[in-house]
Structure 1
């Protein structure tokens, strides 16, 4: 039974959204930087398409998981706090997706999410799509998986590893976004480095608590999915890991 999971996804889809500009907004990056980040993103997108095709060829039922990941990321990254001019602070949903479908597939998921937000919510932009997708859908998921694997090898519990991996992956996204903004809009006196420190300093005030909340939410949702047998194995969870995750969850409930 996956009743809880179904209700959770339905709740996320129906949740009312408040509109503010988010990601890096349309027209905020000079043309040369928009083009450059788009070129950087394309190889990741191609690898992502290959990853998605391979997953669907091996398990056609993974369409449901991919759809859930898209819905989760769409809703979560649409809830934001006004922050830096031309952008904002928000959760990404990329850690959750990377845990289920892998970091490469998230480049496709992230691109779909960003396009939906551009056309449905007027968030982000077409000219800034490459920059936004690279920061959120490439760097974030890759860092999340790397941190998870490192923490797992250090005998950290799966829940703790997933929490910190998601938090650090979220913050890594905003490190990259700060670099992108600083390169495009260097400070008049202190240059790119000075602009970066200003951008990351402002982001930090709102993004750190947002990242922590996203980490907790990701662990909670994956726990629900595991307990309801929705996840048998995933990109970073082996069968043994899922069984361990589930046993610890059941032990906690008995207490």
Structure 2
């Protein structure tokens, strides 16, 4: 998902940054309120950020200028809400760009919007729908993490198709091309991320049940 440094045209990079910034600001306000009202969440917040950092650093080369990997943002979205993950995801992506040369600074806004905004919001929506439909905790977590991951890559495909439309078929043709290439690696990775997130939730259920209060209390 990480679009590499300098790959997007400057206008596109600036536009995606402008789109992502309001979500990060709103997430910062929510995060500050959460820490003020529930200071005990510092450790699980750090754990959610670390989970996203480790999983999203496991990249596989894919479309030129990008890569495939788990995102790890679904867990934090289910525990603290998708807004908070906009901040945690931005921190994760910034550190990866600076320390691992994974992604970039000019493409940070585009990467934040796909991995730290779209992915967590889709994961949260799927979680609420699954639980509302009576799905068990593991099934709801699996579907949320898997589809949140896949939504991230759909968004990255849109970003790349907008920046590099096909000469013959335009945006639609480019989107189909990017989606089909990403799917080869991303579908299995999305399934793996869903399973890993279920394992993480199972572990926390056994050893840190209090941290799952918000997740388990969702509709």
Q: What is the TM-score normalised by the length of structure 2?
A: 0.97
Stretches of structure 2 lacking an aligned partner (at least 5 in a row): none
Structure 2 residue aligned with 1:207: 186
Residues 91-130 of structure 1 mapped to structure 2, 5 A cutoff: 91-130=70-109
Q: 1:118-159: per-residue Cα shift (whole Å, max 9, x none)?
A: 111011001100000000000000000101111111111111
Q: Alignment length, in residue pairs?
A: 219
Structure with bigger gyration radius: 1
Residue of structure 1 in register with 2:119 after alignment? 140
1:1-255 matched pairs, under 5 angstroms? 23-238=2-217
Structure 2 Cα separation of the partners of residues 192 and 212 of structure 1: 28
Deviation at 1:235, TM superposition (A): 4.1
RMSD: 1.3
Contact residue 98 and residue 235 of structure 1 kept, 8 A = no
* 1:204-236 Cα deviation digits (max 9, x unpaired): 010000000000000001110111134344443
Partner of 1:252: none
Instruction: Give, in whole Å, the separation in 2 of the partners of 1:40 and 1:236.
Output: 28
| Displaced runs of 4 or more, over 6 A | none
The alignment partner of 1:135 has SS state of helix
In the alignment, the residues of structure 1 paired with residue 32 and residue 102 of structure 2 have an alpha-carbon distance, to the nearest angstrom, of: 28
Q: Larger % of helix: which? A: 2
